[in-house]
Structure 1
């Protein structure tokens, strides 16, 4: 089944101009962002004007100084920070159940956090081919479900191949700092408009909605901003 957000990316490539832009700041190593992506897609699927919505993925690094080589698991780190095993078991079970409700696997107890900067650069390259959503989806699945190191260049090359991004451009990207300025620009805008957590949804560059909203809440947000947008267009 075609992903609604991806359909909008392809519409852009054909030269059509969506009416309303929703920017989503997210980090590919964040389970809440994976969950939020699924809920956003569900909200779009039920929105009658979905073809007039443009989704743009914006970069945000939760751990900008994280190394590219995996270290301890998230569970091990949190245990050192004072959390008990029973406490963590409950948290991780809850997160896993939320993922199951959206048809994805979330297993944060096994995550080995790594730097996501190059993964964000790869998404920017993919965006130039109308594949930002496909690339984001593949990286999310690799990190959260397959427990792969998405900072490793070999892994990124394989994921880019899966997403259909030209291999020669991927090789050039990883050999240099291409698209780094775009990632930094996203982060600078986030700082300027007050985005400090992810996922965060920004409507037409103005108002921001933060956190993992339920699908119904995202649908209500879409209805509200659409009504306001069309009223302004008709005035």
Structure 2
């Protein structure tokens, strides 16, 4: 039972013994050509509006001197939300539910921010380790706590995204596996519960993408 339950997260399974599951990460590129039509579709107009809104919000966090850097975080949001949303479709592998994928996004970003901050704004980075107004007795402990919290940031970003995506998929699979043993009335209740849970997972897919992008933006703003 447990083997079949977790088989949906198995990266090595694929089509005709070929490990093609990770190719689902690039399915979002199928939507890119629609953005270049001569007459924009409703989808492209909606997505342009979302990108413009995110650009304005990230620009407020980063400041006017880094307003062009918002394209990195808007692109990051787009990649994650496409993977999360497409993973809700049947037989589509959810790559964002694996730490290999989420760590590959968060760790390089965090390393880049840290190297840039410590090389170009060393005094500012040291100041972040000591909150203003800290008593002298607590200063060594605050430095240690701030250092640990800074080091575990990429792990918290990666685990938050992977755990949220995996938990919903496991719950959907677990509830669906009880269908054959239920009666007609309970089947209708199960279908309704599955639909409600699928709507919740759709919201979680967007929210977790937004949280990942916003937290990455906040980490970047602290290095300047």
Q: Is this a same-fold pair by TM over 0.5? A: no
Which one has a bigger Cα radius of gyration? 2
Structure 1 or 2: larger helix share? 2
Q: Which has the higher strand share?
A: 1
TM band (smaller chain)? under 0.3
- Give the TM-score normalised by structure 2: 0.25
